[in-house]
Structure 1
Amino acid sequence: MPDLRTPLDPPIGPSITEPGIAERWRSYDRSYRAEARISRFWVADIHEATVYPPYGVVGQGDRLVRDTIRNGNMLANLFPDADPAELRQAMASPEVEITGLAEEPQRYLPGHSFLLGFGVFANYFNWTLRYASRVALFQMMPPSCRLVVPAPIKQYIRETLEFMGVPEERVVYLDVPTAFERLTLAAPTALGRYEISPLITETLREHPRVTDLPRAGRRRLYIPRRNVRMRRVVNEAAVEDALAMLGFEVFDNAEYSVRDQAHAFRDAEIVIAPHGAGLSNIVYCDAGTPVIEIVPEGYDQGATSYRSLADLFGLSYVQLFAREAAPDRKGNRCNADIELDVEELVHAARAQLV
């Protein structure tokens, strides 16, 4: 897999007065480009394994598959009667046996099953990277193999699987501890802080269900932040009016099916959006498509996940800072409401449309 990461020194317009922001982002950039692109990947079959919802943690007897555990809180919630010291050791070594681990499975599935993902996904972004990115692996399995999908089961999950051509009768939704005769796992891989399949481009942008979508003309998309409680754009009406003068349409992902979202982003000439799950669909954009991500000036979590996606899919990525207009209710500056300098945004958009 080629490494398409290039240095990024985002422009900081006159509307941004955050002290030290330039050096902070240069530091994020250096750290990001020093990380492994894909650290590891394996696919393994486990016999007589038990999977525990809602996290998809996998156990075999009194041992856990360590790579299916993201943090100790997951284990404490799943196994409240287990020794906390043993749970901590299980996070460090797959050889540790946990006394009284095995909660009796409530059902048993014979034959072959494929676990789509594990960990926690709370939104469309995490679903797309951690779960949907593995569908191509499942579709390489024999027709008798089932697809096991951990909870929660949301509408976009069913729509994604239907769009990608996974028959409903082959899907098992994991709602109770379940034992499997034979279970195939795909290991996590490293992309920043997120685990994805190295087949993500084949699964998403190059999936036959995506490439078969008819071309409907190039579209300039602005993805709004509506019906949300954080990172709201306080002057969004002015932003939308200014972008409309450049031929942009407002495309609210929440109003469309997964198929229609994929179709719109596949046809995108350029995408502009505030930081948020609405940018997840850039995985369907053609290589080279410009993406402008609007980031709160107080964002302090390093290179954003959407820069990582843009690099992975060969997109032309631009980062634009927005002034903090109102603090996040929990004090997280990454999630503050923002106010965009409309003139700066229009300038950045025109530069990408040349």
Structure 2
Amino acid sequence: CRAVAAERNWVQAWCEGSGRESPLRSGLEQACRGEGSARIPDFLYSAWRQRWAPEGVALQADSFSQNTPPTTDFWPVPTQGYLTTRQWHQATGEGDYQLLDPGGVLCLKAPPAADPDILQKLRPQRIPLAETFVAQIPRGSVHVGHYPRHLYASFASGVLTRRGELLADLSLSLPPPEFLDWDYRPDHLRHHPLLGLPHLPPPIPLDGPVALLPLGAVNYFHWMVDILPALDILRRSGALEKDIPILIHGYQGKPFQVQSLATLGIPAERILSFEQLGGSHLQAQNLIVPSAGAPVGCLTPRGLEVLRQLAQPSFSIDPLQPRRIYISRRSARWRRVINEAEVLACLHPWGFAPVQMETLSLQEQIALMQGAEAVIGIHGAGLTNLAFCPPGTTVIEILPSNAVLPYFWSIAQVAGLRYFPLVAPVCDPALVALLSSPDLDREDAWVRIPDLLNVLEQTGIKG
């Protein structure tokens, strides 16, 4: 049923050459009309499986039987799983489940704003935080990315037991952007993008124990907010005391990745990537996986402590560095301030200096933010560094009207900062059609100067 729903047009085209009376065509038409949808005819399902089989591999009619173990030619997509790893461990007695922190609640307050859109998106929240743990999964495997029709495919992963069961709370993917809207639940047994695949490739075996961080670490924000807190969970469990490799989904050896690992005492030589190992599905003799420290993209007080460990203890404020900072995205491919020159001219009397974070080392970014008294910037990864600002720092986040998202609002509250939102209209999408997509909230924005001046007055900082 999922196959027909996902690829109805392709299956229909594939069957186009069949005669009008052929069982294949009549079965397809019946399925597309929803008749007999409880069981798609075997011949139709067989045709679907054969379409996606590795080249030269012939599939048997019962290859996807629920009780049939994986073969060397392909793995079936999970049909069973557990919403929590604790349930799996208690039900099967397999592996190990080490509890570190009990669950809790993160409370957030609404920012000072009159805009109803802001108040609806950044409303008061009580975010449930699940308990943190480290699981050991004998012959566990992980499959990452490349999920068709899934917006954030490069981030997602599926963690499986040796029987091919999905462990939902370890199989991370980006939730809807309003991650603080807890109508969303990690019901990955129905919604995980892994289930959109016809089958999985055979896993590449890895010898010995391997630690895994399954969420895609493809940008600065998720590396700092999701990956480093998960590494801390591994460290506190004692798993990193042994010289075992650490497999990080999306690791590319970027400077901020290498520098942050070095500061935490983890040599880059211990890090493995899926690209380095040459596959999207890997299986270890013992897969060691930490839980997420919080909902994806949400920084907790514990996560804030982890990030602040990156700061050099001998830090002292450079009297020559700016105290009021405007974070520029002029070199970015999307989500830029189109009238940035006008904005900077407006901010100059207030003492703001422009900074491009990507031109600075990690320690330079941290030192700059530790000495800040006010920060302004459009929604983007550079605002992740709000985590290093001293309590009471004034923050103005420019939010494109189609991207009123809670990530940096929540960081500001956890860090004890004074946060003020400023919504800016997005430009005509046609202006950036070659660089971005309206579906990804990446349009450039235009800041209305009167609105900016009003927010500056609201903050109470002196010009």
Same fold (TM over 0.5): yes
Distance 1:48 1:212 in 2: 45
Instruction: After superposition, give the CA deviation of every residue in 1:262-308 in whole Å (9 maximum; x if it has no partner).
Output: 22122222111011122111122222222110112344x5x521111
2:446 to 339, 347, 352: 339
The 1:139–1:6 alpha-carbon spacing in structure 2 relative to 1, beyond 3 Å, is same
2:208 to 110, 116, 123: 110
SS in structure 2 opposite 1:268? coil
Q: Is the CA contact (8 Å cut-off) linking 2:134 and 2:233 kept in structure 1?
A: no
1:64 to 166, 171, 177: 166
Amino acid in structure 1 at the alignment position of 2:417: L
- Structure 1 counterpart of 2:303: 200
Distance 1:287 1:134 in 2: 24
Amino acid in structure 1 at the alignment position of 2:215: G
- Structure 2 counterpart of 1:180: 284
Tell whether 2:120 aligns with 1:27. Answer: yes
The 1:202–1:121 alpha-carbon spacing in structure 2 relative to 1, beyond 3 Å, is same
CA RMSD of aligned residues (A): 3.4
Q: Is the CA contact (8 Å cut-off) linking 1:4 and 1:311 kept in structure 2?
A: no
Q: 1:36, CA displacement in angstroms?
A: 1.8
- For residues 223-262 of structure 1, the aligned pairs below 5 Å read 223-262=327-366
Q: Which has the larger radius of gyration?
A: 2
- For residues 73-152 of structure 1, the aligned pairs below 5 Å read 91-92=189-190, 103-111=201-209, 113-116=210-213, 118-140=214-236, 141=238, 142-152=241-251
The 1:245–1:161 alpha-carbon spacing in structure 2 relative to 1, beyond 3 Å, is same
Instruction: After superposition, give the CA deviation of every residue in 1:28-78 in whole Å (9 maximum; x if it has no partner).
Output: 233xx2442424433222222223345443222222222233469xxxxxx
Amino acid in structure 2 at the alignment position of 1:48: R
Distance 1:53 1:41 in 2: 22
- Structure 2 counterpart of 1:47: 138
Distance 1:234 1:248 in 2: 18
Distance 2:242 2:311 in 1: 18
- Structure 2 counterpart of 1:309: 411
Q: Is the CA contact (8 Å cut-off) linking 2:299 and 2:411 kept in structure 1?
A: no
Distance 2:253 2:455 in 1: 36
Amino acid in structure 1 at the alignment position of 2:424: A
Q: Is the CA contact (8 Å cut-off) linking 2:139 and 2:161 kept in structure 1?
A: yes
- Structure 2 counterpart of 1:219: 323
SS in structure 2 opposite 1:291? strand
Q: Is the CA contact (8 Å cut-off) linking 1:66 and 1:93 kept in structure 2?
A: no
- Structure 2 counterpart of 1:38: 129
Amino acid in structure 1 at the alignment position of 2:159: V
1:159 to 224, 247, 259: 259
- Using structure 2 for the length normalisation, give the TM-score: 0.60
The 1:190–1:247 alpha-carbon spacing in structure 2 relative to 1, beyond 3 Å, is same
Distance 1:270 1:121 in 2: 29
Q: 1:150, CA displacement in angstroms?
A: 1.6
Instruction: After superposition, give the CA deviation of every residue in 1:309-332 in whole Å (9 maximum; x if it has no partner).
Output: 112222211101223343363345
SS in structure 2 opposite 1:139? helix
Q: Across the two proteins, how many residue pairs are aligned to each other?
A: 317
Distance 2:250 2:221 in 1: 15
Q: Is the CA contact (8 Å cut-off) linking 1:325 and 1:339 kept in structure 2?
A: yes
| Larger RCO (alpha carbons 8 Å, 6+ apart) | 1
Amino acid in structure 2 at the alignment position of 1:239: V
Instruction: After superposition, give the CA deviation of every residue in 1:185-221 in whole Å (9 maximum; x if it has no partner).
Output: 2223544x6366763112102x154444443246211
Q: Is the CA contact (8 Å cut-off) linking 1:108 and 1:180 kept in structure 2?
A: yes
SS in structure 1 opposite 2:122? helix
**Residue identity (%):** 23
Q: 1:9, CA displacement in angstroms?
A: 4.1
SS in structure 2 opposite 1:232? coil
- For residues 245-284 of structure 1, the aligned pairs below 5 Å read 245-284=349-388
- Structure 2 counterpart of 1:10: 113
The 1:10–1:43 alpha-carbon spacing in structure 2 relative to 1, beyond 3 Å, is same
Q: Is the CA contact (8 Å cut-off) linking 2:221 and 2:381 kept in structure 1?
A: yes
Q: Which runs of 5+ in 1 are unaligned?
A: 12-21, 73-88
The 1:197–1:183 alpha-carbon spacing in structure 2 relative to 1, beyond 3 Å, is farther
Q: Which runs of 5+ in 2 are unaligned?
A: 1-103, 146-155, 175-186
Amino acid in structure 2 at the alignment position of 1:144: D
SS in structure 2 opposite 1:250? strand
Distance 2:105 2:370 in 1: 22
The 1:168–1:119 alpha-carbon spacing in structure 2 relative to 1, beyond 3 Å, is closer
SS in structure 2 opposite 1:153? coil
SS in structure 1 opposite 2:127? coil
- Structure 1 counterpart of 2:398: 294
The 1:150–1:298 alpha-carbon spacing in structure 2 relative to 1, beyond 3 Å, is closer
Answer with 225-234 or 328-337: which moved more. Answer: 328-337
